[in-house]
Structure 1
Amino acid sequence: MSNFDFDLFVIGAGSGGVRASRIAASHGARVAVAEEHRVGGTCVIRGCVPKKLLVYGAHFAEDLKDARQFGWDVPDCKFDWDRLRDNVLAEVTRLEGLYGQTLENHKVTVFKTRATVVGPQKVRLADGQEISAERILIATGGWPHVPEFPGSEHAITSNEVFHLEKLPKRVVIAGGGYIANEFAGIFNEFGSKVTIVNRGDTILRGYDEQIRDRLLQISMTKGIEFRFNAPFQSIERNDDGSLTVNLENCDAIQADAVLVAAGRVPNSKGLGLEEAGVELDEHGAIKVDERNQSSVPSIFAVGDVTNRIQLTPVAIREGQAFADTFFGNKPTLVDYANVPSAVFSHPPIGAVGMTEAEARNKLGSIRVYTSDFRAMKNVLAGRNERALYKMVVNAATDQVVGLHMIGPDAPEILQAAAIAVKAGLTKADFDNTVALHPSMAEELVLLK
């Protein structure tokens, strides 16, 4: 028997931590997990799952109007934020229970408290109890970054947005990334007046330029306002409870809520990592090698706390690879090439591989194919909103190196198409595939 209390101690029961715990336990390891918030982590509790449920709820605003053009006698409908909020939070609680049950079924010991590292193979719980483990895995994820400025305490983040007591009539959203654009679409469809304020001049940095320009155009058509090159100066609380947002280079904006979506930082503070000898980068991310091992051989990390690719499925892959490598005798490395991503904006975006600019810089000679069209549903509904599909091809090999889409169900379509990019298929392979008609996805095999 081992001289340690556990073979593996995991700090953080989010997507990566739960997967690593479950797989390690299935390989016969004695596993414990400490979670100071709620089992499930950011994705399940305060991230992609409740956010996607709000996205579904927001879609009904347009669907109910469009239904009239399809013969349905739909009366004017009133949106009830309290009902949706409570139903979403109830679903989150249900999922939290399932995650806890999964750990219990695999005989993983769960400590519902904070844990910190006090040595290469020792952790301390909030009550002072010290526990030894042969290996320690840090899976504490990320945390919303709130820049410091006067009145920043009046702003909320994506952590609190799901718990709003009432729907704000006017919302200012700080940031230009996926979280900012997703919540802009959600609140706009719910009837709020939305203004996105960005300290730079670009939204969705890292996505293909044509795709992000199309989202900007459509968002403005839907009534979302944008302020670029406008850093926050201060937020003031008015006597009536409203907020005054003071900006550089712009007039002040009156709001009922300010949501800061200015990125996420690794959640590594106060864990005792540096004292234990774990090396962090300038952003607080744990530096790890390809096997998720830190500068301390017995301490590992997966997920957003490593600041590699901040996506739930990547954290899950890393957790699985870690457990299989060190407890299953199955050495596994995560392949980070061609990881698909989505923005659940209105309309949504799906992307995989290189953007046009990246491909030109890396490959030199490329071919670009686009399809700019109105979805059949939008035509009959009388909506002028257009979808845009874009394929980037290596001219020397005919290999498809990038796919970028904005339009209805783009992420659902992109998931299958990402397999083709990952497999290195060519434009000829797409051309040789018979179209599925009538569908939006058929545009991918009809690009000329």
Structure 2
Amino acid sequence: MAFDYDLFVIGGGSGGVRAARVAAAEHGATVALAEEYRMGGTCVIRGCVPKKLMVFASGFPEAVADAQAYGWDAQIGAFDWPRFRAALDAELTRLEGIYRSNAEKAGVTLFDSRATLVDPHTVALADGRQVTAKHILIATGGRPFIPEKWADAGCMTSNEVFRMEALPESILIVGGGYIASEFACILNGLGVKVTQFYRGAQILRGFDEEARGHIADQMQADGIDLHLGTDIMEMERRDGRTWVKATTGLDATYDAVLFATGRVPNSDGLGLEALGLELSRNGAIPVDAHSQTAIPSIFAVGDVTDRVNLTPVAIREGHAFADTVFGATPRSVDHSLIASAVFTRPELGTIGLSEEVAREQEPIHVYCAAFRPMHSLFAGRNDRVLMKLVVSQDTDKVLGCHIVGDDAGELIQLAAVAIGMGATKADFDRTVAVHPTMAEELVTMRAPVRST
């Protein structure tokens, strides 16, 4: 059977675009890609990139205060949200253009359209056209959601934060994951009065408990009104604002409410069930190690598979898919050791096992240092940095590294190289410290603080 294309990709985010470009430019496949919204996907348009730019913006008041402590006659005025948003929109448009241009230069045919599956080799575009392909790759990502009970209450998700016409004076953020906690810190830094509800015992579930507590303490010290073990019981609109009553009895009114209570795979309405492909309970597409579904011609990468929902992972999965299917080089992605960063204030960088997970698997030594870093100490701030290594007692191998402090994301990227190579604590100890730096603590901790 003759097909229109060797590969048809549904979704123009990081994973889909990488797969399309590699298949076309490196392996000579004929490739088409359909994107119903904007090229670049969640990361570029409504996720990592705009969020990180907001992180930068939110840090300037503290930077100016530090400058004053260091002797500068520095002043800061009011934050101009419309001006920042206009610049942000322009940057996202520029990046979207790069994504589009790079795909087209690779020889990928682009369709600005929603695409759904008709059969294992056919997709239907929104204008009624049908296109056939030998292989179909689904890379539609994920989306935030608001619990059904509050769906009509006029609340925001992370998607809408970047499109606000004006900054609210006050906001309630519901959730305790990295998205909720990051936006709590960002908006607090921009001058918004932030309240955060989380129904669990501590924010950032799944990360190292000591690091979680360290961040929560600093967020509260910085002015975020964090309520743990707390959820919404009642909510209604009153005079253009939102009144909320909490399960703890607290009631207050906020200018805005943001739900960051999780994300779900963006698989609705693609036609997968009609083809006999059974999805997981949350809508994730089940795939094997090579991103292949139970239907041999259909593959999926990125957040829609709900494996490790990080942009660099989607990119790796997309690249591995293209090499496997079109490059005759079977490749899979190792999801077991992936570094990540949480851009709260303070920042968290982490790779490997938390102390809690590691001690369930084997005997460990825990090396830890918490201290006031030179920069903020001189400025009179009470910030504290946390450096932590989790080490196997039997092999001396470093099983996990957790850093809380300024630029932790930058630091963990470098630590990830060593840990990914199987570095031992002795390897860290042999490394001469770079002084004076925060990171030197990673190679100067000689005695464990505890062993379990």
TM > 0.5: yes
Alignment of 1:90-109 (within 5 A): 90-109=90-109
Distance 1:56 1:152 in 2: 33
Q: Helix, strand or coil: the match of 1:149?
A: helix
1:332-368: CA deviation from partner (whole Å, max 9, x where unpaired)? 11111210111000110000000001110011x1100
Which residue does 2:216 correspond to in 1? 216
Which residue does 2:59 correspond to in 1? 59
Q: Helix, strand or coil: the match of 2:203?
A: coil
Quick one: percent identity of the two aligned structures? 54
- Matched AA of 2:246: L
Q: Helix, strand or coil: the match of 1:204?
A: coil
1:132-177: CA deviation from partner (whole Å, max 9, x where unpaired)? 0000000000000211124644110111100111111101001000
Which residue does 2:245 correspond to in 1? 246
Distance 1:397 1:150 in 2: 51
Deviation at 1:228, TM superposition (A): 2.2
- Matched AA of 1:291: H
Instruction: Please point out which of 430, 434, 437 is paired with 1:436.
Output: 434
Instruction: Please point out which of 349, 369, 372 is paired with 2:370.
Output: 372
- Matched AA of 2:168: P
Distance 1:223 1:209 in 2: 22
Which residue does 2:236 correspond to in 1? 236
Q: Helix, strand or coil: the match of 1:8?
A: strand
Distance 2:315 2:76 in 1: 43
1:343-402: CA deviation from partner (whole Å, max 9, x where unpaired)? 000110000000001110011x11000111111101111001100011000010100000
Deviation at 1:445, TM superposition (A): 0.6
Which residue does 2:422 correspond to in 1? 424
Distance 1:94 1:270 in 2: 30
Which residue does 1:157 correspond to in 2? 157
Which residue does 1:407 correspond to in 2? 405
Judged with a 3 Å threshold, the aligned counterparts in structure 2 of structure 1 residues 208 and 37 are, in CA distance, closer, same or farther, namely same
1:80-139: CA deviation from partner (whole Å, max 9, x where unpaired)? 111111111111110000000001101101100100001011000011111100000000
Structure 1 contact 288–295 (Cα < 8 Å) conserved: yes
Which residue does 2:360 correspond to in 1? 361
Distance 2:175 2:150 in 1: 17
Deviation at 1:437, TM superposition (A): 1.0
Q: Which moved more, 1:244-253 or 1:152-161?
A: 244-253
Alignment of 1:195-210 (within 5 A): 195-210=195-210
Which residue does 1:275 correspond to in 2? 274
Alignment of 1:257-276 (within 5 A): 257-276=256-275
1:21-53: CA deviation from partner (whole Å, max 9, x where unpaired)? 000001100000000010000000000000000
Q: CA RMSD in A?
A: 1.0
Judged with a 3 Å threshold, the aligned counterparts in structure 2 of structure 1 residues 150 and 334 are, in CA distance, closer, same or farther, namely closer
Distance 1:150 1:21 in 2: 38
Structure 1 contact 230–250 (Cα < 8 Å) conserved: no
Distance 2:392 2:18 in 1: 37
- Matched AA of 2:342: V
Which residue does 1:45 correspond to in 2? 45
Which residue does 2:450 correspond to in 1? none
Q: Helix, strand or coil: the match of 1:254?
A: strand
- Matched AA of 2:314: A
Q: Helix, strand or coil: the match of 1:54?
A: helix
1:266-314: CA deviation from partner (whole Å, max 9, x where unpaired)? 0000000111122211110000000100010000000000000000000
List structure 1 segments (4+ residues) > 6 angstroms apart after TM superposition.
none
Give me the TM-score of the superposition, normalised by structure 1: 0.98
Distance 1:327 1:103 in 2: 17
Q: Helix, strand or coil: the match of 1:17?
A: helix
Q: Helix, strand or coil: the match of 1:337?
A: coil
Would you say how many aligned residue pairs link Structure 1 and Structure 2?
A: 445
Distance 1:290 1:182 in 2: 31
Distance 1:201 1:134 in 2: 49
Structure 1 contact 121–132 (Cα < 8 Å) conserved: yes
Distance 2:181 2:364 in 1: 30
Asked whether 1:75 is paired with 2:75, we answer yes
Which residue does 1:337 correspond to in 2? 336
Structure 1 contact 173–197 (Cα < 8 Å) conserved: yes
Q: Helix, strand or coil: the match of 2:158?
A: coil
Structure 1 contact 152–235 (Cα < 8 Å) conserved: no
Q: Helix, strand or coil: the match of 2:328?
A: coil
- Matched AA of 2:344: S
Deviation at 1:410, TM superposition (A): 0.7
- Matched AA of 1:437: H
Give me the TM-score of the superposition, normalised by structure 2: 0.97
Which residue does 1:383 correspond to in 2? 381
